[in-house]
Structures are given as structure tokens and as C-alpha cells.
Amino acid sequence: MDVQKECNQQVNEEDLVVALEHMIRMAAELNSIIVTDNVEVGMLTALPRPIWANIRNELIKDSMNFDSLRSIEESICVICLDKWKIDENTPGDSRDQVSMAEQILYGGKDMVNSSNRCSDGVWGMNTEISSVDGIVINRLVEDLIHYT
């Protein structure tokens, strides 16, 4: 979704909520589509840059891939609607702050959602830690948890 309306006006909170609800409905509809032999793009981006660049060049020959990658690359954020998997160390269906932070940062302890933070359902954050101190990232995650 665009975060600016015409005349460079920002999208207000109500418009954002409506758009997010629409995305959730779309995601539910897409869950019924079965894709086989699927390799998530997030996994490919972890390859050495020259290899990923060659794969990307092949992918964008397809117009749908081109449009999808362009949309991702031009985004200020990507929202992932992951399913939360409870691991054996989590009592009941607990959603304490620690388990939520683990899910956000690396997909949880079970590693089921770790390989691609863009395909597993709850929500996650992909960060580059060389430019930001871990304390700053943890504080951001803590604030996000409290805000939601």
C-alpha cells in the first residue's frame, strides 16, 4: 500500500487499518493456493551477492516476478502474517514478551520460521546489526510489543 496519498499527504491510521485488514483477508485467500517446488526469495538473498544477482536477473525475466521484486525493493517495510508455532518450552498458548521477541527477531526457538521471515505468518523484523546496536533493536521490539 502507498503510505502517501495524492498531494503528499500521509495515510491516516484509519486508512492504514482498513488496508491491513484487506491484506489479512487476501492472505487467507492465498493460503488456499498450493505451490510446489517453491524456494522463498528470502532464502536466495542469503546467498553470496554475485550468485543472488544472477538468480535475481533470471527471476525478473518473468513479469510477475519483476513486479513483485520491485514492490518489495521499493517498500519501506514488509508485513509478514506468520502463524505462531508454540515450542515445547512454551506453556499452553502463552504469548509472553520473550516468546514474542524471539518470534519477531528470528522466528522463535523451534527454527520453523527462521529461514524466511517473509513467509511464516506472525510478524518479523529483518535487521542489519552491524549498523545498529543490539540494545537499540531490543528496545524497538519491546516498544512494538507494548504498542500492539
Contact 105, 137 (CB under 8 A): yes
- At 60, the pLDDT band (50, 70, 90 cuts) reads very high
Poorest-confidence range of 19-33, 64-78, 83-97, 127-141?
83-97
Helix, strand, coil percentages, rounded to 5, for the chain: 50, 5, 50
Is pLDDT at 54 greater than 90 in this prediction?
yes
Is pLDDT at 62 greater than 80 in this prediction?
yes
Percent of the chain residues topping a pLDDT of 90 = 7
What confidence tens digit (pLDDT) does each residue in 71-99 have?
888 877 666 555 555 556 555 555 677 77
- At 45, the pLDDT band (50, 70, 90 cuts) reads confident
CB-side exposure of 5: number of CA atoms within 13 Å?
Answer: 7
- At 111, the pLDDT band (50, 70, 90 cuts) reads low
Contact 97, 119 (CB under 8 A): no
What confidence score (pLDDT) does residue 63 get? 93
Highest mean pLDDT: which range of 37-41, 43-47, 84-88 = 43-47
Domain boundaries of the chain, sorted by first residue: 1-34, 41-76, 78-148
